[in-house]
Amino acid sequence: MLYELSVFNETSRTLYFSVNSVTAFEAMARIAKITVYQDGERYGVNVPGSLSPTGKRRRSFFRSIKKANEEKKRLSDQLNNFGKESTISPSLATDALKAANLLKPFNLSLTEAARMAADQKKRQNASVTFAEAWGIHLESLAAKSEKHKRETGYIGKKLLSDFGKKLVADIGGEELERALSAHYKTPHGFNLALRSLSPVFNRAHRKGWAGENICLRIEKRDTGRREVRFLSVEEAKNVLGAVRDHRENKALPQYLRKNCSDTLAPVALMLFAGVRPNEVARLTWENVDLSEGTVFISNVKAKTDRSRYFEMPDTLRKWLETIPPEERPKGGTIVPRNWPTKWKAVRYAAGIKEIPDILRKTFVTYHLAANGDINKTRQIIGHEVGDTLFSYYRGAAAKKRGEEFFRLTPGWGAPTSRDQGKTNPSGTGGPS
């Protein structure tokens, strides 16, 4: 039976055609040969790519021409036997030619391409759906705050509609980026979703469910340089002044009229040490050592899963010392009962209701301005790197303003923990 067999010669980068009832090897043997050549004091055996099992040229070197010729004969005999014993069907030859043409631009042999395809199939067989991977990720967040789990859940709900039934091994970086762009129109939202997804694909890579963490291929959106909003010294005074009983404060909504005089400790920790609102809610008085003047925030209570231990700024220590010992029992929480509502009431009374974490930003701004030591500021607030601090906060406030801020000790006239029952009907929270 006659059929057309096409052979691609890697050396000349051309296609040859033979119309005979021949084996694949016999067709190739007419085009390329194994040769012996001299290279200085050694002799080489050259096997063209079209005759090599890997599809790429192979060279071997010997000290004598006799050894080189023996190797040539061994390889030739091996190929001759292969040619006599191995034939391919016309359909397989045609398919091989098509595959070779497809692989030309990528400089890949059929063997290499087949190995890559086999690896992909193995990953698919070992992979899980995105829905399964996402479920495992949510289980790993058990120790996280409810807010963190809730925000992460929102991201998952959006992407499950796109990729829920798809194997994570089959999700590409470009299609994930398109999905994120469709769901998140702002740079901040896009970056937050990308950051939340990265652990999912990182686990998938570690467990062999996917070939890589595709999130690493996606560039974050440029959020531009934003102006840092922090409190003026007068506004900081208002916050401290708002730590009082607001049950008679008609300037506040009814649900915020609470006795907030027991919020001094958390407010002082946020304002004079930059402790995050979610972190301060997890602290107990065991984490605060007034005799040593230190604060310890364990990895369980910190946002970043990394523990930190720092010396209190003197201003913070002075405020905490105004709280009677009986109001700071060991094991007792730093925040009072109904803390979320009371914290909102303090913010409303001080006129900063729109930014819950503004006390942290205020501390960073003034501490960096007053001390000029970015590493010390980082240690207190728990930042691993100083890029954000340097870019956004350095120079945001003058040194004299930073020094003025840290002079806001109990002696300036704001109510302390001992000033119970005093109301501020105006709602301004300023000093009397």
* Interval 13-45: pLDDT, tens: 333 333 333 444 444 444 468 899 999 999 999
- Given this model, what pLDDT does residue 302 score? 67
Q: Alpha carbon of 319 to those of 152, 242, 281, 351, 376: distances in Å?
A: 36, 15, 18, 22, 21
Exposure string over 122-143, b if 16+ CB within 10 A, otherwise e: ebeeebbbbebbbeebeeeeee
- Given this model, what pLDDT does residue 423 score? 35
State the average pLDDT over residues 54-72: 86
Residue 390: is its pLDDT beyond 80?
no
* Interval 225-242: pLDDT, tens: 667 788 999 999 999 999
State the average pLDDT over residues 71-100: 74
| Angle at which helices 90-103 and 110-126 cross, to 10° | 90
List all residues 6 or more positions away from 350 whose beta carbon is below 8 Å from its beta carbon.
Answer: 235, 238, 239, 241, 242, 428, 429
State the average pLDDT over residues 145-159: 86
Q: Find the range with the poorest average confidence among 108-122, 168-182, 316-330.
A: 108-122
Q: What whole-number distance in Å separates Cα of residue 317 and Cα of residue 369?
A: 20
User: Letter for the amino acid at 260?
Assistant: C
Higher per-residue pLDDT: 396 or 180: 180
State the average pLDDT over residues 217-223: 89
Q: What whole-number distance in Å separates Cα of residue 296 and Cα of residue 285?
A: 10
- DSSP label at residue 393: I
- Given this model, what pLDDT does residue 250 score? 94
List all residues 6 or more positions away from 132 whose beta carbon is below 8 Å from its beta carbon.
Answer: none
- Given this model, what pLDDT does residue 419 score? 47
Closest Cα to residue 120, out of 216, 215, 209?
209
List all residues 6 or more positions away from 305 whose beta carbon is below 8 Å from its beta carbon.
Answer: 299
State the average pLDDT over residues 130-146: 88
Q: Which domains does the chain have, with CATH numbers?
A: 4-123 (no CATH), 130-217 (1.10.150), 233-412 (1.10.443.10)
Q: What whole-number distance in Å separates Cα of residue 35 and Cα of residue 197?
A: 55
User: Letter for the amino acid at 183?
Assistant: H
Portion of the chain with pLDDT greater than 70, in percent: 78
- Given this model, what pLDDT does residue 87 score? 59
Burial class (CB in 10 A: 0-12, 13-18, 19+), 19: exposed
3-state secondary structure of 8: strand
State the average pLDDT over residues 288-308: 82
Q: Find the range with the poorest average confidence among 38-47, 95-104, 159-168, 177-186.
A: 95-104
Higher per-residue pLDDT: 423 or 139: 139
123: phi then psi, degrees, rounded to nearest 5? -65, -40
List all residues 6 or more positions away from 393 whose beta carbon is below 8 Å from its beta carbon.
Answer: 228, 361, 364, 365, 368
Per-residue tokens: 178: 């398109």
Residue 283 banded pLDDT, cuts 50, 70, 90: very high
Q: Find the range with the poorest average confidence among 21-25, 104-108, 179-183.
A: 21-25
pTM of the predicted model as reported, rounded to 2 decimal places: 0.56
Q: Find the range with the poorest average confidence among 48-57, 207-216, 357-366.
A: 48-57
